[in-house]
Amino acid sequence: MWGFILGLVKNPIVSLIADKTIGEVKHYLEIKKLERVAEIEALKTIQVAQVEASERSWKDEWLTIVFTSLLVAHFFPQTRDYMITGWEILKSAPDMFWWIVLAIVSGSFGINVMDKFKK
């Protein structure tokens, strides 16, 4: 049995196939390694850009403060009448106004709602 295995190892065709297979595997692993390095670099670039954009942008905080203030204002007796009057006025707002508000708020929080309604 050992003679058979030793014969296979010394066989030049088996040796050639083994060398080519090992070379292919090494090549494949090298390509995968380079792809991973490129993906990591791309993620770093994207994350840095996101951090820089969020540092300069106050629109999310501004919208959160505005909507929270509107919600809280309903519970104070001094502002309750103004809130009711405001909602009565907004009932007559055209649909385009509400689409714009929806696009601004959803865009600020990273949600693309407009694609869902374009169907």
Between residues 33 and 118, the one the model is more confident about:
33
Q: How many CB atoms lie within 10 A of CB 11?
A: 12
State the Cα–Cα distance between residues 115 and 52, nearest whole angstrom. Answer: 27
Per-residue pLDDT tens over the stretch 42-82: 777 777 766 666 665 677 788 889 889 999 999 999 999 99
Between residues 103 and 10, the one the model is more confident about:
103
pLDDT for 86: 93
Longest dimension (CA), the chain: 100
State the Cα–Cα distance between residues 41 and 108, nearest whole angstrom. Answer: 27
pLDDT at 4 over 70: no
pLDDT for 8: 62
Domain range summary for the chain, segments of one domain joined by +:
1-56, 57-119
Per-residue pLDDT tens over the stretch 7-40: 666 667 767 777 778 888 888 899 999 999 888 8
Q: Which two tokens stand for residue 105?
A: 């708020």
